[in-house]
């Protein structure tokens, strides 16, 4: 059975995409740890990141860095956190999270009912920042 991320990638379930290329997508997390929390997900369904081929793993990190730079340009934060946990969905995904303290990476603090218009707004801001940085070819409308 396909993971929920595969179903989102395939268009069966909606997602707020801010990146889409031949290897991966990036989308706004619907249970954000902080405003702008983004998931970078390979299109190929692989449960654990250590099982990714090295080219895909390297590509995900490059996209995560690009997303983090965009986040830093539009969201006030001390750092951009990066985490791969993998317990929630058996499909590799990299959490890229604007943070001010380590506590901002605690999943027990995830926002369980964020406003849809807030998620849409931050997605628009990040897509704009990515386009401004010259990544328009990978930024969906």
- Per DSSP, the residues of the chain read ---HHHHHHTTSS---EEEE-SSEEEEE-SS-SSTT-EEEEESS--SSGGGS-HHHHHHHHHHHHHHHHHHHHHS--SEEEEE---SSSSS--EEEEEESSGGGG-GGG--SS--HHHHHHHHHHHHHHHHHTT-GGG---
What topology does CATH give the domain 4-131? HIT family, subunit A (3.30.428)
For the stretch 71-115, pLDDT in tens is: 999 999 999 999 999 888 999 999 999 999 999 999 999 999 999
Q: Whole-model pTM above 0.95?
A: yes
pLDDT at 71: 98
């Amino acid at each position: 059975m396909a993971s929920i991320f595969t179903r989102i990638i395939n268009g069966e379930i909606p997602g707020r995409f801010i990146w889409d290329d031949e290897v991966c997508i990036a989308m706004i997390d619907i249970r954000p740890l902080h405003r702008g929390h983004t998931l970078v997900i390979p299109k190929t369904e692989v449960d654990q990141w250590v099982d990714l081929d090295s080219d895909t793993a390297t590509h995900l990190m490059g996209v995560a860095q690009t997303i983090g730079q965009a986040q830093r340009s539009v969201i006030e934060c001390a750092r951009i956190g990066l985490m791969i946990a993998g317990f929630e969905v058996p499909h590799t995904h990299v959490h890229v999270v604007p943070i001010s303290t380590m506590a901002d990476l605690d999943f027990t603090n995830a926002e369980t009912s964020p406003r849809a218009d807030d998620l849409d707004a931050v997605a628009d801001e990040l897509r704009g920042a990515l386009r401004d940085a010259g990544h328009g070819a990978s930024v969906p409308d």
